[in-house]
Structure 1
């Protein structure tokens, strides 16, 4: 196994992009990639197919990886890899919860997480089994000035067996199957971090595992040893990823769930910490729509804080399965979207239209026997505007549409 420090792995020369190639990529950054390839004959001396792939990946990365996107010299992996990699926002968040002398990233990949987390360490070791991927990461780290990252093209678990250790170990296990089916078990990912827990915890006292938000939290908690925390990360309107923190010194399985809605810099906008016992014992009360309506962020719902929201924020649920909340007084720090209620109507456009101007409204359906697109078509409403319609079922099983506007 060879390694380098901020440079290509030994024995492999990673050539960067020429000045002409860089100019082509940035001159056509917003072009249609398919049309570019069809016109390849016009661009003599250039591998247009290769450059089109770079353009397509950069187009995917513009919003997700703003810092990397603006660096003209970086080489990007295929567009699908960009779609699947961490965003800079979530990478910044990870960097904020780890620190020490040495970090080992056992799953490498594009290196977004490794790059940002390495800033919190004196020394970082990146492992990637695919030589081309490792070589590209080494080249990119050099362009970014990340000289403290040692790139290894090889099997990370072998290095851990041989005694390599660190303060923190990071893993982003990939799915084994290629059919993209829903993954509910860590054992269905590779490397098998649960099956290798003893080895990993021997190599580092702290372990950070990133998974897809599709993973079942409670099932994963049964698979993992020494689980201390589960971070459920929300960015913009989506739940982006789950982070499992293992601690060698944890006396028993008593983990906290930390929900974090973050901004582009990885800083929390909303925070909610709780555990399963608090959720089980929380007292829930139900009410018909009051002055304000609240829709929890997707990350809160993924975390399963359904009853905890009531006790923490002094709100009431509309119904057991609707996952919508209400209060008479405005709760300004609720972790999700908040609205002022204008009216509560029957699911009848004649009644609804008395409370919305024009033919525009934003429609959401929660625990309701029709989808938003079906309702929009039935009611002949366009998407958008300043009014929000929530079609839902109340605790008495009545079907209603709650007409709302933004609270301020």
Structure 2
């Protein structure tokens, strides 16, 4: 089936650098052209140049409406997911199953790390577009399945569907030839992080062809457009699918909204249990499961155990929460983990990666607090450290403070100070010029000559707008003011400039 006719395709190529609003207003001028389709495709390509350059460089890609393009993964985050799927824990896997295919951006990048890959999507139109785009991208290892992944019966039948999709007379499929990865430009900091993950014994990375990794990106809004705050409220309900998935899935990768409480998501995933005895020959459960298939295991272990949490930010804006969980029963079929298997937390912001044990990140320990000198600080140089958005979302401030030997400004400020310049801190670094109370005379002295300033508030009773009016400064300039509450409960302004 032709998705775009020849006239419209030529129009798209001729006008893809034009203003789409003007093209839409002049639609009557272009007879024989599906202008609405053309505008969607031109706008999609223009977005892809910024967000998905490898797709934009591929002729023939069909794009979804603009809103879908804005909401889909970027090349940066999709590439990071591919590397996590390939190298987190035990290394590359044999089969990828994406149960929430959507536009297929994540799938197209993830599939490069697998010998075979199955895209599942309940929207038939998206499946048609996906088949076309995967062919344009040269994804010979991919199969497209139009089905509803929220149907437990479908999940239970997935092993048979996978076999059917890739079966051939000689026992091999085109997937075994692999596909060439032509766009691996990732920030060096993230690349180094992935290389550290990949340093595992060769025996741990020799994976069986039948080992299955399942990727799920559940919808975070209900039918009324309201955002969901619990993994259980997302669609499909991942927790409800875990018993069926545990029968054949070795690794589960969940892409969730950074708005979700990752602590609660980890607890919920680890809490789901089921009595499942694995038949090693056929990868199916024996008949000793509980009647409902749900409940704690005989040995008290969960179906899946979270092995890593990744909070991914781009330019200091949190984009995704990734949770990777391992199935201990499936792991016994392919060989256990022979390197450090302690669950980890990774806070990723462009080239900066801060990691710690997941156990530490789940704890809520107090941070040692500093006493800030009032006034200009004299001859003592003090630096202010502001964690990036990924660390802020993780909330592991006690681990951060211990690792970098910094002290907190206040109990809930999430600002830190040190007398030394620290290389590689996951966030921004400023040099403190002065610390002022809210006393008018002191403010006047500390802000003498300051007409422009960038203002941020942390655990402070005024909004930025109200404080800016009170201080009578306009936005911008090279001065950065952090308004916060310090250890003794008083409100102060920390006046800084960027550290060089």
TM-score, length of structure 1 as denominator length: 0.87
Residue 260 of structure 1: aligned partner? 347
Residue 318 of structure 2: aligned partner? 239
Give the Cα separation in 2 of the matches to 1:285 and 1:257: 24
Alignment map for 1:142-157 (pairs within 5 Å): 142-156=135-149
For the pair 1:286 / 2:369, whether they are aligned, the reply is: yes
The Cα of 1:68 is off from its aligned counterpart by: 1.9
For 1:1-49, what per-residue CA distance to the aligned partner results, in whole angstroms no more than 9, with x for missing partners?
xxxxxxxxxxxx242463753554663545152x432221122222222
Residue of structure 1 aligned with 2:414, choices 313, 323, 328: 323
Alignment map for 1:108-147 (pairs within 5 Å): 108-147=101-140
Residue 229 of structure 1: aligned partner? 308
Residue of structure 2 aligned with 1:183, choices 206, 209, 228: 228
Higher mean alpha-carbon deviation, 155-164 vs 285-294, is at 155-164
From the superposition, tell whether residues 16 and 223 of structure 1 become closer, same or farther in structure 2 (CA, over 3 Å): same
Give the Cα separation in 2 of the matches to 1:192 and 1:302: 23
Give the Cα separation in 2 of the matches to 1:32 and 1:400: 49
Residue 7 of structure 1: aligned partner? none
For 1:137-175, what per-residue CA distance to the aligned partner results, in whole angstroms no more than 9, with x for missing partners?
111111111121111122345553224264211111113
Residue 21 of structure 1: aligned partner? 9
How many residues are aligned here?
Answer: 387
From the superposition, tell whether residues 318 and 355 of structure 1 become closer, same or farther in structure 2 (CA, over 3 Å): farther
Residue 376 of structure 2: aligned partner? none
Looking at secondary structure, tell me which structure has more strand per residue: 1
The Cα of 1:111 is off from its aligned counterpart by: 0.7
Residue 194 of structure 1: aligned partner? 239
Give the Cα separation in 2 of the matches to 1:242 and 1:200: 21
For the aligned residue pairs, the C-alpha RMSD in angstroms reads: 2.5
Uncovered stretches (5+) of structure 2, i.e. residues with no partner: 86-91, 163-210, 271-303, 332-340, 373-380
From the superposition, tell whether residues 342 and 169 of structure 1 become closer, same or farther in structure 2 (CA, over 3 Å): same
The Cα of 1:103 is off from its aligned counterpart by: 0.6
Residue 399 of structure 1: aligned partner? 491
Residue of structure 1 aligned with 2:26, choices 19, 26, 39: 39
For the pair 1:77 / 2:168, whether they are aligned, the reply is: no
Residues 127 and 151, structure 1, Cα contact 8 Å, conserved in 2? yes
TM-score, length of structure 2 as denominator length: 0.72
Residue 95 of structure 1: aligned partner? 82
For 1:196-228, what per-residue CA distance to the aligned partner results, in whole angstroms no more than 9, with x for missing partners?
101112121111011111111122123214222
For the pair 1:274 / 2:364, whether they are aligned, the reply is: no
SS where residue 175 of structure 1 aligns?
A: coil
Give the Cα separation in 2 of the matches to 1:195 and 1:351: 61
For 1:313-356, what per-residue CA distance to the aligned partner results, in whole angstroms no more than 9, with x for missing partners?
10000001111111111112211111111221234563343264
User: Higher relative contact order by CA 8 Å / sep ≥ 6: 1 or 2?
Assistant: 1
From the superposition, tell whether residues 159 and 182 of structure 1 become closer, same or farther in structure 2 (CA, over 3 Å): closer
Residues 127 and 154, structure 1, Cα contact 8 Å, conserved in 2? yes
SS where residue 73 of structure 1 aligns?
A: coil
Give the Cα separation in 2 of the matches to 1:308 and 1:17: 58
The Cα of 1:311 is off from its aligned counterpart by: 0.7
Runs of 4 or more above 6 Å deviation: none
Uncovered stretches (5+) of structure 1, i.e. residues with no partner: 1-12
Residue 171 of structure 2: aligned partner? none
Alignment map for 1:311-350 (pairs within 5 Å): 311-347=402-438, 350=444
Give the Cα separation in 2 of the matches to 1:193 and 1:258: 21
Residue 255 of structure 2: aligned partner? 210
Residue 3 of structure 1: aligned partner? none
Residues 16 and 73, structure 1, Cα contact 8 Å, conserved in 2? no
Residue of structure 2 aligned with 1:351, choices 433, 445, 466: 445
Give the Cα separation in 1 of the matches to 2:133 and 2:493: 52
Give the Cα separation in 1 of the matches to 2:14 and 2:52: 16
The Cα of 1:382 is off from its aligned counterpart by: 3.3
